[in-house]
Structure 1
Amino acid sequence: MWLKPSVLFKVYCCDHTYTTIRVPVAASVQEVISAVADKLGSVEELNLVHLSSAGEKTIFKPNDVSVFSTLSVNGRLFACRRDQLDSLTPLSEQGGPSSGSLSSFELMSSKDVAYHLTSYDWELFHCVHELELIYHTFGRQHINKTSVNLDLFLRRFNEIQFWVITEICLCSQISKRVQLLKKFIKIAAHCKDYKNLNAFFAIIMGLSNPAVSRLSQTWEKLPSKFKKFYGEFENLMDPSRNHRSYRLIFSKLEPPVIPFMPLLIKDMTFTHEGNKTFIDNLVNFEKMVSFFQVKIVVLQSVRFVFSSENLMLIAHHPDVWTYVRQFNVIDNQRILTQLSHGLEPRRS
């Protein structure tokens, strides 16, 4: 008998206690609430809420599906009555680490980190079905379909970005911060060589985050060679002429390539919102062709498997393998900005 895939996750209460439930991956919010109510023995009308590390609350609608995959990096699910919403506070663990991982991270080869980043990204990307792009664009709650694999891959982009910012903002020594800048630029270069453009852009966007880019004393000490590399990489993020710089470099790469997924999503959304699906009761063929062209980008890559240049890499570097899969980050921009100003106060 074929069983629907299920997922196990925690749902928290106002007092930070939690219950663990198992529901189908595509379960609706109503199903999740029912499972929580059964576990808690509650007969009260509950709301399912996404609470971010910054304390921002989003109340899910009853027909929303697969909500566990839509959480922010440090976001958590809470169940509460509507009159308890104001009393919801983030868990202490949502704040992220208080110290960086430099002591272990600095011992790892930049190339090894980029390799294992790419290997893990391929695992996530390979699970994405091209139809998930359609479900995500049209709104999966409207068509009762899940885009959970795409959601998790998009969250990974944010996780890598916050990893870069967190490590730099938790490094108190300027000389060590300079070393971190160099290391992240080297890792980005290796990711680009591995044709992992998603991780490449996540790292560069992390370095260009205001909490990092404002550290002028740190950047001033970066060797000119690395400033040049970073400048070239940053130019690839130039959004002018419909991201022409990125599209040019992407067009020259042979599959397999992990594309810059947020831009693919942006393309799909722009096509959907800017064009009617039906014109005079007929399907808008040009819109469907545009969707298909984006789908082809995914199809051309997900059918490949990331090939190891060294089958013993995992055996030789289990610490790196584990490290890139368990990033501990701060995803609260306000906290990151405060840390940044603590490192280099604003000059008067």
Structure 2
Amino acid sequence: MSQLWFLQYDYAEGDIVFSADKSVKGGTIRALVERLTLHDEIDMSFIANFLLTYRSFCTTEEFVELLQERYNLAPPEELTPDELEIWTDKKQKLVRLRVFNVMKNWLENYYNEEDEFILNKLHVFANTVICDSSSFSAEQLNRLIRKRREQDGVLKKLIPNNTNGPMPIVPKNLNHIRLLDTDPLELARQLTIMDFKLYSSIRPIECLGKAWSRDDDTAANVKQSIDYCNKLTAWVTGSILNYKEAKKRVVVIKYWAQVANRCMELQNYNTCMAILSAFDNSAIGRLKKTWEQVSSRTTQSLNAIRKVMGSNRNFQEYREMIHSVNPPCIPFLGIYLQDLTFIEDGNPDYLKKSSNLINFAKQQKSAEVIREIKQFQSPPYIFQYVPEIQDFIKHHLDHSKDVDFLYERSLELEPRTQSVE
């Protein structure tokens, strides 16, 4: 039986395009919002992908306005009383329910602090429009709006600490911490606390349109995470180059190899990769006299990490491993940024031969990566925060040297030989 004409979709035939697998390939913003709130179908995958990525093709204000328009859907003028009753029951009520569910979903899972300006608009809409058809729905929205207003800014003020975690292995002299006196496991734990705080703060909007490569603050948390890794790599490099004697440099290499191993055990692959990058950069990798004295045990340990974290076949071994681990875990962020860059650069924002059909297949690809990033943002690690070690780490990260300085230092310690490096 064909669908009654007044129960058909409102978007025009060319306003939305589907792939062979029936997933949305592209569409106008209005058609995509209608797709979110269809009266006769709920596409959960599409809804999740849209809410994760909509900020790349429209503002939150535009999105909310389109939802409000959709809620206020008017019947065709030429309906008979019987048809109007069917339309109200089979379409309007269901569309309104879908709009409410999308608004609720957005408030619960996709709201950002900078969206605060829209809360008042939603509050007014709930009290003046939604309450006319469903006071229960209006109150649910208002409850979520109040919750969001109360939470804004609160989470950032919280100091992470877990008294239920394993007892910290603290150095004998907490007032004057020395790197080699700090247990490698405890340093790995404290680095993990720091790294996870950054990683868990990354929001979907930071992963869209290569926002981390722009000068604005859209991707502040991604930038801080990148900065953490770069500074850690520089700290590890500098700590090795701090000693004139090769045998002392070997001791530091062994120490950081132990920290890297502990990070692997803690499933903190991001910090592990930052440490590994220090061993493999030009300033450390070229120290032949130093590496000749590194024990086979340390070398084998590092090679085992390199095997898992290596870039061979697009990090195939690492990718297979990360898909089988159970959180808590901090993945190597660089791979996600690489994948997102590939998607962004390799796919147009709009479908070919079209100026208004958003390339939603592109958004779907981005959403898959963002969903994996979010997957590891909880649960948190249960480690006790040690302020003195945290301050020690922050001091060394903030005072890490730049690449050129470190390379010059490397040349001072082991000058170039006749062969070209």
> Does the alignment reach a TM-score above 0.5?
yes
Q: Using a 3 Å threshold, how does the CA distance of structure 1 residues 139 and 224 change in structure 2: closer, same or farther? A: closer
- Is 1:176 the counterpart of 2:248 in the alignment? yes
Determine which structure has the larger helix proportion and give its number.
2
AA partner of residue 190 (structure 1): R
Q: 2 CA distance for matches of 1:235 and 1:203?
A: 15
| TM-score w.r.t. length of structure 2 | 0.53
Instruction: List alignment gaps of at least 5 residues for structure 1.
Output: 1-24, 27-101
- Is 1:162 the counterpart of 2:237 in the alignment? no
Q: 2 CA distance for matches of 1:140 and 1:344?
A: 38
Q: Which residue of 2 is the match for residue 239 of structure 1?
A: 311
Q: Which residue of 1 is the match for residue 221 of structure 2?
A: 149
| Match 1:282 to one of 354, 357, 367 | 357
- Is 1:333 the counterpart of 2:403 in the alignment? yes
| Match 1:304 to one of 379, 395, 400 | 379
Q: Percent identity?
A: 25
Correspondence list, 1:255-266, <5 A: 255-266=327-338
- Is 1:342 the counterpart of 2:412 in the alignment? yes
- Is 1:197 the counterpart of 2:258 in the alignment? no
8 Å contact kept, 1:164–1:206 = yes
Q: Using a 3 Å threshold, how does the CA distance of structure 1 residues 103 and 173 change in structure 2: closer, same or farther? A: farther
Q: Using a 3 Å threshold, how does the CA distance of structure 1 residues 286 and 246 change in structure 2: closer, same or farther? A: same
Q: 2 CA distance for matches of 1:251 and 1:210?
A: 31
AA partner of residue 118 (structure 1): T
Local SS of the residue matching 2:348? coil
Q: Compute the displacement of 1:137 (Å).
A: 4.1
Q: Which residue of 2 is the match for residue 108 of structure 1?
A: 182
| TM-score w.r.t. length of structure 1 | 0.64
Q: Compute the displacement of 1:184 (Å).
A: 0.6
Instruction: List alignment gaps of at least 5 residues for structure 2.
Output: 1-112, 115-175
Q: 2 CA distance for matches of 1:109 and 1:161?
A: 19
Local SS of the residue matching 2:221? helix
AA partner of residue 323 (structure 1): F
Output one character per residue of 1:90-146: Cα deviation in whole Å (capped at 9) or x when no partner. xxxxxxxxxxxx9811111111100000011111222211221115449767xx872
Q: Which residue of 1 is the match for residue 123 of structure 2?
A: none
AA partner of residue 293 (structure 2): K
Q: Using a 3 Å threshold, how does the CA distance of structure 1 residues 283 and 145 change in structure 2: closer, same or farther? A: farther
Q: 1 CA distance for matches of 2:259 and 2:382?
A: 19
Q: 1 CA distance for matches of 2:224 and 2:239?
A: 22
Q: Using a 3 Å threshold, how does the CA distance of structure 1 residues 185 and 139 change in structure 2: closer, same or farther? A: closer
Q: 2 CA distance for matches of 1:139 and 1:278?
A: 22
AA partner of residue 345 (structure 1): P
**Greater alpha carbon shift after TM alignment, 246-255 vs 195-204:** 246-255
Q: Compute the displacement of 1:181 (Å).
A: 0.6
Q: Using a 3 Å threshold, how does the CA distance of structure 1 residues 183 and 286 change in structure 2: closer, same or farther? A: same
AA partner of residue 294 (structure 1): V
8 Å contact kept, 2:210–2:340 = no
Q: Which residue of 2 is the match for residue 222 of structure 1?
A: 294
Aligned residues: 241
- Is 1:129 the counterpart of 2:198 in the alignment? no
Local SS of the residue matching 1:124? helix
Local SS of the residue matching 2:371? helix
8 Å contact kept, 1:126–1:303 = yes
Q: 2 CA distance for matches of 1:210 and 1:174?
A: 17
Q: Compute the displacement of 1:305 (Å).
A: 1.9
Q: 2 CA distance for matches of 1:151 and 1:341?
A: 31
Q: Compute the displacement of 1:330 (Å).
A: 4.1
AA partner of residue 268 (structure 1): L
AA partner of residue 347 (structure 2): N
Q: 2 CA distance for matches of 1:121 and 1:266?
A: 19
Correspondence list, 1:47-58, <5 A: none
8 Å contact kept, 1:135–1:145 = no
Output one character per residue of 1:236-288: Cα deviation in whole Å (capped at 9) or x when no partner. 34323222122122112112221111221111011011011211342323211
Q: 2 CA distance for matches of 1:135 and 1:287?
A: 11
Q: Compute the displacement of 1:347 (Å).
A: 2.8
8 Å contact kept, 2:177–2:389 = no
Q: 1 CA distance for matches of 2:180 and 2:213?
A: 42
AA partner of residue 192 (structure 1): M
Q: Compute the displacement of 1:320 (Å).
A: 2.0
Q: Over the residues paired in the alignment, what is the CA RMSD in angstroms? A: 2.4
- Is 1:292 the counterpart of 2:367 in the alignment? yes
Q: Using a 3 Å threshold, how does the CA distance of structure 1 residues 112 and 138 change in structure 2: closer, same or farther? A: closer
Local SS of the residue matching 1:254? coil
AA partner of residue 133 (structure 1): C
Q: Compute the displacement of 1:190 (Å).
A: 0.7
AA partner of residue 323 (structure 2): S
AA partner of residue 211 (structure 1): A
